[in-house]
Amino acid sequence: MLKQFLVFIFFFGHFVLLSQSSEIDLKLKAQLEQEKLEKESENTKDTLTTDYYKIYFLNDKVETVDTSLNIYKDYKFNFLREDSFDLISFANSGHTFNKLSYDFKDFSKPDIGARGKHFHYFEKEDIGYYNVPTPFTEIFAKSTFEQGQILDMLVSINLSRQYNFTIAHKGYKSLGKYINTRSRGNQFRFSSNFNSKNQLSYWRFHFVSQNIFNQETAGIDADSIYFFEQATNYFVLDQSGNQIIEEDGSFKMIEYDGYLDRSRLGPGVFARRIFIFKKIFLRFSKSFVKNKKENLNTLAVNYQFTHEYKKIEYNDEMNNNLFGEVYDEEQTVSDQSRFIEQENKIIISSDLNKLGTFNLIICTN
C-alpha cells in the first residue's frame, strides 16, 4: 500500500505543483492590473487642462485660458493688451490712438465727448466672467515711456462649481517722450457670476472704477517744430560766452539731434485732463422652457441693469490761444462735463435652433 502511494505521488505530484504555480501567477497578474487601473484613474482624476478654465462675456463669446507661448501673445504685449495692428499710438501710454481701419461690428449709440480716451476704457462687453476649477492668477507687467511701469493683475476664485468672483486692478504711470505728456491711471474691476445646478438660471454682476489723468500738450510749438525737423548743430561756448576756435580756424560745434532728444521740445499748451468713471452692471436670466438635448433655451426671460457715471474735466491754467481767444485772461480755462446713465432692460428670448434666436426687448432709461 505504501509503495502504491509513493508511486502515485511521484507521477501526479508535479501536476499539483503546476496548478498551484499557475494560480499564483494569475493572482499576481490580476493584482498588477488592478494597481495599474487605480494609478490611471488617479492620474486622470488629478489632471487639469486649460479647457477647464473658461471666460464668458456678455455677447455670448467664450474663451479658454491660454498658457502657451506663441507669436499671438507678442502682438498683445502692449498697453491695450490686444492686437493693435490698425492703431498708431501717441508718444506716451494712456493717451489716444489714431485708428487706420473701420469695422461694421460696433454700431453703438452716440456718447459724450472725449471718445479718443476710450481705447483703454473698460466697457461692459470687455468684462469677463470666469469659471475656474482652481484659483487662477494672471499678472501683466511692462515698462512705459521714459519712466514708469504698467501692472495689471487678476485673481479669480471659484468658491463652488456654481459661484465665482474675480478681482482685477490695472495701474500705470508714464512720463512720456515730450514735456507735459505725463499720464497715470487706476482701473479696478470686480466681477461675479452664479449658475444654478439645473442650468436654468444664472446672474452676472460687475463693478468698475476707473480714474485716468493725462497732461495735454496739443503738439509742439513753432520753434520746437523747427528743431524737431532740422536737428541743427550748436556752437560750443567757453565760460565767457565766446565761441571756441579749432586748430583749423573753424568754430567748435556740437551735434544736437533734436529728433531723439524730444524732452527739450516745448509743448503747444500746458493743460491737464481728468476722467473719473464708475459703472455697475447686473444681469439675471431665468429659463422656463429648455431643450436639454440640444442645450437651447426655448423660452427665457432676462433682466439687465446698468448704472454708469462719467466725470470729465479739462483745465488750462496758462490760457493758451490754441483753441481760440480767451475773453477774460484772469480766469483759467476749465471745461467740466457730467454724464449719468441708468438703464433697465427686460429681454424675452427664444432659441428655435433652425429658425434662429428671437429677442423682445423692453428698455427704460
**pLDDT band per the 50, 70, 90 thresholds, residue 15:** very low
Q: Are strands 97-99 and 87-89 parallel, antiparallel or unpaired?
A: antiparallel
pTM score, whole prediction: 0.74
- 428655435: which residue's cell? 352
Q: How confident is the model at residue 52 (pLDDT cuts 50, 70, 90)?
A: confident
Of residues 44 and 235, which shows the higher confidence score? Answer: 235
Please report which residue ranges of the chain form alpha helices under DSSP H.
2-46, 71-75, 222-230
Residue 351 contacts residue 288 (beta carbons within 8 Å): no
Q: CB neighbours (10 Å) of residue 65?
A: 16
Q: What is the pLDDT of residue 325?
A: 65
Q: Among the listed ranges 13-27, 194-208, 296-310, which one has the minimum average pLDDT value? A: 13-27
Residue 359's pLDDT is 78
Angle at 260 between CA 259 and CA 264, to 5 degrees: 80
Task: Output the average pLDDT for the chain.
Answer: 80
Residue 150 inside a domain? The answer is: yes
Domain boundaries, position 291:
50-216+273-364
Same domain? 239 vs 283: no
pLDDT exceeds cutoff 50 at 16: no
Tell me what the mean pLDDT of segment 9-16 comes to: 50
Same domain, 132 and 251: no
Q: Does pLDDT of 46 surpass 60?
A: no
Domain annotation covers residue 33: no
**Residue carrying the nine cell digits 514735456:** 179
Residue 28 lies in a domain: no
Q: How many structural domains are present in the chain? A: 2
Average pLDDT, stretch 275-301?
A: 81
Domain assignment present for residue 38? The answer is no
Phi, psi of 254 (to 5 degrees): -125, 135
Q: Which whole-number Å values give the CA distances from 346 to 209, 301, 304, 343, in the listed order?
A: 26, 7, 6, 10
Question: Does the pLDDT value for residue 33 go beyond 80?
Answer: no
Last residue of a domain, which of 231, 266, 301? 266
**Is there a single domain that holds both residue 62 and residue 178?**
yes
Please report whether residue 12 resides in a domain: no
Among residues 246, 266, 286, the one where a domain terminates is: 266
Both 261 and 310 in a single domain? no
Q: Mark whether 238 and 146 lie in a shared domain.
A: no
Instruction: Quote the Cα angle for 223-225-230, to 5°.
Output: 100
pLDDT per position as a tens digit, 247-275? 888 888 776 665 666 777 778 788 888 89
Provide the percentage of residues in the chain whose pLDDT is more than 70. 75
- 116 and 58, same domain (yes or no): yes
Residue 24's pLDDT band (cuts 50, 70, 90) = low
Q: Is residue 326 in a domain?
A: yes
| 230 and 185 inside one domain | no
288 and 349 both lie in a single domain? yes
**Phi and psi angles of residue 90, each rounded to the nearest 5 degrees, phi first:** -80, -170
- For residues 61 and 135, state if they share a domain: yes
- The 3-state DSSP class for residue 355 equals helix
pLDDT at 55: 93
Q: What is the pLDDT of residue 28?
A: 65
pLDDT in tens, 148-205: 899 999 999 999 989 999 999 999 999 888 888 889 999 999 999 999 888 788 899 9
More confident residue, 319 or 71: 71
Local confidence band at 18 (pLDDT 50, 70, 90 cut-offs): very low
256, HSE (Cβ side, Cα atoms, 13 Å): 19
**Lowest-pLDDT range of 131-135, 274-278, 314-318:** 314-318
Q: What is each CA distance from 163 to 156, 157, 190, 280, 310, in whole angstroms?
A: 11, 9, 14, 19, 30
Give the integer Cα–Cα distance in Å for 204 and 285.
Answer: 9
The pLDDT score that the predictor gives to residue 1 is 57
- Residue 273 half-sphere exposure toward CB, CA atoms < 13 A: 19
**In residues, how long is the chain?**
365
Report if residue 35 sits inside a domain.
Answer: no
**Is a pLDDT exceeding 90 seen at residue 333?**
no
In a domain, 200, yes or no: yes
Grade residue 19 by pLDDT with cuts at 50, 70 and 90: very low
231, 95: one domain: no
Buried b (16+ CB within 10 A) or exposed e, 279-290: bbbebebebeeb
Give the pLDDT of residue 171. Answer: 94
Summarize the confidence of residues 7-31 as an average pLDDT.
54
Question: Residue 229: its pLDDT value, please?
Answer: 72
Domain shared by 171 and 310, yes or no:
yes
- Say how far apart CA 178 and CA 146 lie, in whole Å: 10
Question: In one letter, which amino acid is 101?
Answer: S
Residue 346 has pLDDT above 50, yes or no: yes
pLDDT band with cut points at 50, 70 and 90 for residue 20? very low
Mean pLDDT over residues 121-130, rounded?
A: 91
pLDDT band at 68 (very low <50, low <70, confident <90, very high): confident
- Domain finish residue from 234, 266, 298: 266
Q: How confident is the model at residue 107 (pLDDT cuts 50, 70, 90)?
A: low
* 190/224 same-domain check: no
